[in-house]
Amino acid sequence: MTGDTRRKVFEVADELLREGKRPTQQLVRDRIGVGSITTINKGLNEWWAALSDRFNSVDAHGTVPEVVIRHSARLWSEALGYARAEHNKLRSEQQSLLESTNNQLLKERSEYAAKLQDLSATIANQQQAASELESERRDLQKSLHAVEEECYRLSKLENSRKNSSIANNADENMRDQLLEERVKLRIKQDTIDELNIKNQKLIEENAELRLRLRRAES
C-alpha cells in the first residue's frame, strides 16, 4: 500500500468519525473513489491501531473535542460487540459441524458393522455350499468308477461272446446294455464337470468375499 493511499484512508476515516459514522471499507472506498477493498482494509486496520495513540497524544494537550470522544467510544463499543457476535457465531457453527461430523461417523460405523456381518454370513454360506458340492462330487466320482468298471466288464463279455459264437439276440442285448452304461458314464462325467465348474466359481467368490472382508476390517 502506497503512502498516498494510506494518507487518504486516514483522512477519510477521520472525517467519518467526526460525522459520527463508523469507518467501514465500503464507506472509505466510496469517498476515496479508488483502491481495492484489500488495500483499504489494510489502511483501516492501521488507522484503528493508531487511533488510541493519536487520541492519547491529543488529549495530553487538552484539544480532543467531546463529540469526538463520545463517537469514538460508541464506535469502539460497537466494534467490540460485533467481534463478540462474530466469535459466538463462529463457535456455534463449529459446534454444529462437530456434532454433524460425529453423527455421520456413528452412522458410517453402524453401516460398516452391518456390512461386516453380511459379508461374514455370505462367506459362511459359500463355504457350506462348496463343502456340499465337494461331497456330491466325490459321490459321483465313486459312481463313475463303478460305471467304468461295469463297462469294462461288459466289453470283455462282448468279446468273449463273439469268440464263442453265442446267439445274435444275446449279443444284441449285451451291446444295448453296454451302450446304456456308456451313456450313463457320459452323463456322470458331464455332471462331475459341471460340479467342478460350480465348485471353482464358489471358491473364487469365496476368495473375493474374504478379500473384501479384510479390506473392510483394515
HSE toward the beta carbon, residue 56, CA cutoff 13 A: 5
- In this structure, the number of other CB atoms found within 10 A of the CB of residue 8 comes to 19
The number of residues in the chain equals 218
Q: C-alpha cell of 14?
A: 477521520
Q: C-alpha cell of 74?
A: 460508541
User: Per-residue pLDDT tens for 178-208?
Assistant: 677 777 777 877 877 887 787 788 778 777 7
Q: Are the C-beta atoms of residues 123 and 209 closer than 8 Å to each other?
A: yes
User: Per-residue pLDDT tens for 4-58?
Assistant: 888 888 899 888 888 888 888 888 888 888 778 888 888 888 888 887 676 666 5
pLDDT at 170: 54
Q: C-alpha cell of 68?
A: 469526538
pTM: 0.41
Alpha-helical (H) ranges within the chain are 3-18, 25-32, 37-59, 66-164, 168-217
Mean of pLDDT values over 54-74: 60
